[in-house]
Structure 1
């Protein structure tokens, strides 16, 4: 155990020692209140343990990272709810599975997530915190159906190119991998702008397509119709169909392969050809000393004793008031007799 003092040790001693001594003294001198003062003594000792903060030192954890910056470009439009992936699952289930698979392939890299629906935004800046990326994946849903303004796969284009330019300038020695997850469907009636300007920054990755030529039904997201299947203006069943030509065009413009994804267990091949992941040189990394805290072991009984003390004070309050009133009455009676 190693103490990690919350305050300077001398200040903790200055506060805790007199309090413990007072409780010990009253514990001896007031036998009728022995249990109350024993409880208070234990509270002081437990509080001292919390302030000392006993910890177990862990091995120094290297903050080195792998020499890759991985960008996920994720389609969150309503069509990604279409149920034509892996035996009727929503397309977004495939996106989540593939994102996790790629993170396993590139473990230790930096990750960034750019999502697009009616608008595009970098929802996770480049970070080595894989847990943050995992948390984002866990909560991934499509945009609320009521807010949809049509879709176009080029919505993330400008945000992506800007992020790639900044990353190349800031970290020129690391590889850049870009993975685009979409069904390629455009419903806004506009032609998609080319992703060609991104090619000069991209070292690897892929465009991953979801959906089938037969298409799938989509459930509404949010609002009064949440979970219901979407219908068109005539009341007919709405269906979304993958546009593989669009996705292949984007892949060709960026110089990465296109993969049609229908099975979460299928390999994501050819996306890292010629890229060798290795740790960033030691001189550009640091080592962080870390500890496992144990003060919570004392804080739990401390909280229980505090609640006990609070209950005792609440129970005694009416009796103390009654006793004070009785003393005041006796004093007035004594004064009248005189």
Structure 2
């Protein structure tokens, strides 16, 4: 009974071609019956032969319509979350005017490190990719579920040397982010992709900033985290030697005095809007464990979904066996009759 309930027709040739062919075969079967009834006295074919040949044509018509059974299967689908963290490492990120949680007077980069550390905690079971940008951008950590690798990367972040700095270009990571996100989407089309960009929003490069709207299509959500203060502070010199500090402050070429770097929340908000994302300021008493990020971290957790799919299985072979049997009978009777007539 279950088979009968799930029985359906799925013509292998399609409903148009299959329906036309099946209709022609039905007309042929009807013609055989009419011819047999009208010409019964003028032929040696008895009613058994007429029934057998009509059945052969009708079975062919059924085979063309491809009787099939429909079964349902349930697949366990896993929707994973991929978090991209992009951190500004220009010289201004060394200014000690930032805060994070219960910390105050720390460098902007230290606040970024703390935020990256917290992101790995509020997105359990997610995969992370890390990118730093200054004069140029580089993917420091390919997509990985290894939280310790992300923490080690954040711990080792340092501002780029002053000698290599050519001004802050907030759009420096755009091309790199576009590429890696497209690759991720191609490889894992069902994953949710999130971006966290941490910067002070300072744009001092000679070129106009490009729009971040090019990332919108490849993102499920975006967050721009601002670090620093509106008051700002002097930018310390960064040494070319890793682990060592340089003396002095970065000077403003126009005045010859130490330059003052301030966080630019207006630019950061504009970047978030271009990606249809959220802006959040990092300051004393504020962390990524609150606000829009906290809400998103619950919404984009790894989820397991039951997906019900239907499978259609053709049932042509029983009809083919009956058709073969009738053909063999017909051939055997034809051979027998031919020998008798010789």
- Fold-level similarity (TM above 0.5): yes
Deviations 1:275-309 (A, max 9, x none): 34125689xxxxxxxxxxxxxxxxxxxxxxxxxxx
- CA RMSD across the alignment: 2.4
Deviations 1:32-87 (A, max 9, x none): xxxxxxxxxxxxxxxxxxxxxxxxxxxxxxxxx97100000110000101111123
Aligned residues: 219
Return closer, same or farther for 1:148/1:168 CA change in 2, 3 Å cut-off. same
Report matched runs for 1:139-218 at 5 Å: 139-218=156-235
> Alpha-carbon deviation of 1:168?
1.0
Match of 2:143 in 1: 126
More strand by share: 2
Instruction: Point out 4+ residue stretches in structure 1 off by more than 6 angstroms.
Output: none
Return closer, same or farther for 1:194/1:240 CA change in 2, 3 Å cut-off. same
SS in 2 for 1:155: coil
Which residue, out of 64, 86, 92, partners 1:73?
A: 86
> Alpha-carbon deviation of 1:227?
4.6
Return closer, same or farther for 1:161/1:268 CA change in 2, 3 Å cut-off. farther
* 8 Å CA contact retained: 2:79, 2:192: no
* 8 Å CA contact retained: 1:67, 1:277: yes
SS in 2 for 1:220: strand
Deviations 1:151-200 (A, max 9, x none): 11000001111111111111111111100000111111221111112111
Matches of 1:276 and 1:257, distance apart in 2: 15
* 8 Å CA contact retained: 2:272, 2:279: yes
Deviations 1:87-116 (A, max 9, x none): 321101110111111110112211101111
Match of 1:245 in 2: 266
Which residue, out of 99, 114, 120, partners 1:97?
A: 114
Which residue, out of 263, 278, 290, partners 1:257?
A: 278
Q: What TM-score do the two structures reach when normalised by structure 1?
A: 0.60
Matches of 1:229 and 1:110, distance apart in 2: 39
Q: Which runs of 5+ in 1 are unaligned?
A: 1-64, 283-338
Match of 2:250 in 1: 230
Matches of 2:183 and 2:284, distance apart in 1: 34
Matches of 2:192 and 2:161, distance apart in 1: 35
Q: Which runs of 5+ in 2 are unaligned?
A: 1-77, 307-342
Matches of 2:79 and 2:112, distance apart in 1: 23
Q: What TM-score do the two structures reach when normalised by structure 2?
A: 0.60
